[in-house]
Chains A and B, each alone.
Chain A
Amino acid sequence: MQYWNATCECMSRDEMADLQSKRLIETVKRVYQNVPSYREKMQQKGVEPGDIKSIEDLKKLPFVYKQDLRDNYPYGMFAAPMSEIVRIHASSGTTGKQTVVGYTQKDLDTWSEIMARTLVNAGANKNSFIQVAYGYGLFTGGLGTHYGAERIGASVIPVSVGNTKRQIQIMKDFGTTIIACTPSYALYLAEEMEAQGISKDDLKLEAGVFGAEPWSENMRKEIEERLGIIAIDIYGLSEVMGPGVASECQCKCGLHIQEDHFIPEIIDPETEEVLPPGSTGELVFTTITKEGLPLIRYRTRDISSLTYEKCECGRTLVRMSKVTGRTDDMLIIRGVNVFPSQIESVLLEFSDIAPHYQLIVDRVGRLDVLEIWVEMNQKMFSDQVRKLEDVERKITKEIESTLGISAKVKLVEPKSIERSEGKAKRVIDKRKI
């Protein structure tokens, strides 16, 4: 099976533009009617739904930011009545508040459809055994992949994250042909297999769909060699839909964006001007079929570029380059999005003034580790070691419950964290990806 949906994936550019225009007009009308904050934003910019006649008019519309979702926490940006919402997911926010997304049944169908396309891109069919090692729960990775795999009619193995030994045993015993996880976890699996004396020839693994964190071509080569598979990069974010917004095909030359559902733009993050095809800038998405949480010109903060040339695979869908960075300070640690400000707000609970801190991210073996250095201050200090260790433990626990990742907290002396122009350097990322 080469395509899941040839009609949509290989549509001519003109047909695609017509379809997108039609859907955009509908979406703008809906959000203007149903979401007060969109209506206000548009009124402030002097734009009315009637001004949007085709995708050429997209640039007239105001941007939407993660902050808007936070300001309207939890459901304020939903464009469908809650009675129509059948699923809620959430991702960690920057100040403790989560970003909440809601899906109608139609949204879930769309999500399954685009995730089916994604898995077919990696070579899946109804005979595949797809092991989902993304987290199940509020995180969109697990369930998103799951529904896509079911849509194809493949056999889904919903292992979720963790328990590497069991993952490997299941891969071997259940005859997994496709694995879905983060790329760093794929390498970790390879290492653990070697340690256990299990060869890639003992497995039936053919492909992997890897996402939720940035990775390099070198990493791809290593994964492909060590696991004996084809490794496909997938992209998604919960605000827009979840995994499946874009994915590579077997040509591995850019990620096809499911354009009949999402219109991408590349903008200059400073001037906010739309940049011509091929330029590198911030990726912006407009969803044109979503009902629960439609987003108009959502600023992803991911840096990428777009190419509209037809791909060798026959798909006409626009391709985005691998994400090369962020326009903000967000870190991705073991697939979890982490903003330094989240850590700061946790630390504030332990001290009147925000202590100076530094995040040190490294990759030990194949897994990301986060160390948080916190400068000691008079308020936190005690002559009793027990109390200081207690502070470390409490911070660690609080970070884990707020961000969902484990970190090692280390108390350091005042002024020991490097400062530049009086400002402490917040993040040291030692990972070589």
Chain B
Amino acid sequence: MLVKQISVFLENKSGRLAEVTKILGSHDIDISALSIADTTDFGVLRLIVNKPEQAEKVLIENGFTVSCTSVIAIAVPDEPGGLASALEVLKNGSVGIEYMYAFVGKSSTHALVILRVEEPEKAIKLLEEMKIKVLSAEEVYNL
């Protein structure tokens, strides 16, 4: 149930993000979700793509520092309180969230959210017990 996320180190200077997306595009790699966390000097770009292994490889070949992390993708009802109920589950199970970001929406009834947690296996178990939809890697890559 774990999804591979690609993280890329980027300096805060113009053109870097464009460079990454261009490299991925030229290798026919599709981005389905992304987020950027930044400081004054640098940022970390996190990507969910359809071919994570290949994305990691081509980015490293192009001189980027890249890491691959396991994250969870969940689908929550696209309505008020939808996300809250999922997060409540993790809170009750004492699973801390490192960071999270939302997907570019493709489902009309559900919102898709990426979660980076310290104990992903435990988180998945908790979420599934509460009937919250956790997406499989294949489902995510094929979005």
B116 contacts A by Cβ under 8 Å = yes
B9 contacts A by Cβ under 8 Å = yes
Which of B's residues lie within 8 Å of A, judged by CB?
A: 5, 7, 9-11, 16, 37-39, 41-44, 46, 63-67, 69, 98-99, 116
Q: In whole angstroms, how far apart are the Cα atoms of A384 and B37 in the complex?
A: 8
Tell which of A377, A384, A389, A410 touches B65, judged by Cβ atoms closer than 8 Å: A377
A378 contacts B by Cβ under 8 Å = yes
Q: How many residues of A contact B (CB 8 A)?
A: 17
Query: Which residues of chain A from 58 to 84 have a CB within 8 Å of any chain B CB?
Result: none
Contact B41 A410 (CB under 8 A): yes
Contact A378 B11 (CB under 8 A): no
Q: Which residues of A contact B63 (CB under 8 A)?
A: 413-415
A385 contacts B by Cβ under 8 Å = yes
A199 contacts B by Cβ under 8 Å = no
Q: In whole angstroms, how far apart are the Cα atoms of A416 and B19 in the complex?
A: 14
Contact B9 A389 (CB under 8 A): no
Q: Which residues of A contact B7 (CB under 8 A)?
A: 381-383
Contact B64 A414 (CB under 8 A): yes
> Nearest residue in B to A385 (C-beta to C-beta)?
B37
Whether A381 contacts B67 in the complex (CB less than 8 A), given A389-B39, A411-B41, A411-B42, comes out as yes
Q: Which residues of A contact B65 (CB under 8 A)?
A: 376-378, 381, 413-414
Whether A383 contacts B46 in the complex (CB less than 8 A), given A376-B65, A415-B63, comes out as yes
Task: Encode contact with B along A392-433: 1 for CB under 8 Å, 0 otherwise.
Answer: 000000000000000000111111100000000000000000
Tell which of B11, B37, B116 touches A413, judged by Cβ atoms closer than 8 Å: B11
**Contacts A/B (CB < 8 Å), 18 sampled:** A376-B42, A377-B65, A378-B65, A378-B67, A381-B7, A381-B65, A381-B66, A383-B5, A383-B67, A383-B116, A384-B99, A385-B37, A385-B43, A410-B42, A411-B9, A412-B42, A413-B16, A413-B65
Whether A413 contacts B44 in the complex (CB less than 8 A), given A381-B67, A383-B5, A385-B37, comes out as no
Contact A412 B11 (CB under 8 A): yes
Q: Which residues of A contact B16 (CB under 8 A)?
A: 413
Q: Which residues of A contact B64 (CB under 8 A)?
A: 413-414
A370 contacts B by Cβ under 8 Å = no
Q: In whole angstroms, how far apart are the Cα atoms of A410 and B12 in the complex?
A: 11
